[in-house]
């Protein structure tokens, strides 16, 4: 026990520690891991959930125009099959590969005929199971005849909305379901036409 007149011992002076090189290296590794995780999540989202696409032709005019940018969602068709009216993105089937298209090129068309339906085009109208369908979304009526043909199991009949300027099923045949990448869900460019498709 010290007396009252005894001075307290001075506290040792503390100096700031120099920057630790291992801490710098640790931060760099942490940032690298964060970047790797972000890139991996982005890649997984693109593969399994959704991806952006660009419209290079006017085959879907007036619904889609050259330069439109879309989000293609890939989840819906894991739970329910594609249906009439869906606008889908797909890889070229064998018939188009023969014409020189590659697997990494993608097409976009509208589903018109589902498996088991009878499709016919005549007199400027498209018929499903012998009934004409109302098509307010097309640029003009088709100027050709096709069918009648039954859509095979696990395949679809697809057409561009610009009926007379579209490389679609009336030229190369049915689309296998396995070639479908996903459904065009949202237009994000240009801003003035932003919204669901």
Catalytic positions are 59, 109
Burial class (CB in 10 A: 0-12, 13-18, 19+), 70: buried
Distance CA 39, CA 45 (A): 10
Listed residue (43, 73, 55, 50) closest to 189, CA to CA: 55
50-54 and 155-159 as β-strands: parallel, antiparallel, unpaired? Answer: unpaired
Alpha-carbon separation of residue 103 from 59, 75, 100, 113, 152 (angstroms): 19, 21, 10, 23, 22
């Amino acid at each position: 026990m010290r007396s009252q007149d005894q001075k307290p011992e001075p506290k040792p002076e503390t100096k700031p520690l120099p920057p630790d090189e291992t801490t710098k290296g640790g931060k760099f590794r942490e940032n690298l891991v964060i970047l790797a995780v972000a890139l991996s999540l982005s890649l997984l989202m693109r593969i399994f959930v959704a991806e952006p696409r660009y419209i290079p032709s006017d085959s879907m005019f007036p619904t889609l125009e050259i330069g439109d940018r879309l989000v293609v969602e890939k989840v819906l068709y894991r739970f329910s099959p594609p249906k009439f009216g869906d606008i889908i993105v797909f890889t070229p089937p064998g018939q188009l590969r023969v014409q020189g298209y590659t697997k990494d090129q993608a097409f976009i068309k509208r589903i018109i005929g589902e498996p088991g339906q009878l499709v016919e085009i005549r007199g400027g109208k498209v018929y499903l199971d012998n009934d004409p369908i109302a098509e307010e979304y097309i640029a003009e009526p088709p100027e050709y005849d096709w069918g009648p043909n039954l859509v095979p199991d696990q395949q679809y009949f697809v057409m561009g909305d610009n009926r007379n300027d579209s490389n679609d099923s009336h030229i190369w045949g049915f689309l296998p379901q396995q070639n479908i990448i996903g459904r065009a869900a949202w237009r994000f460019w240009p801003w003035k036409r932003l919204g669901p498709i």
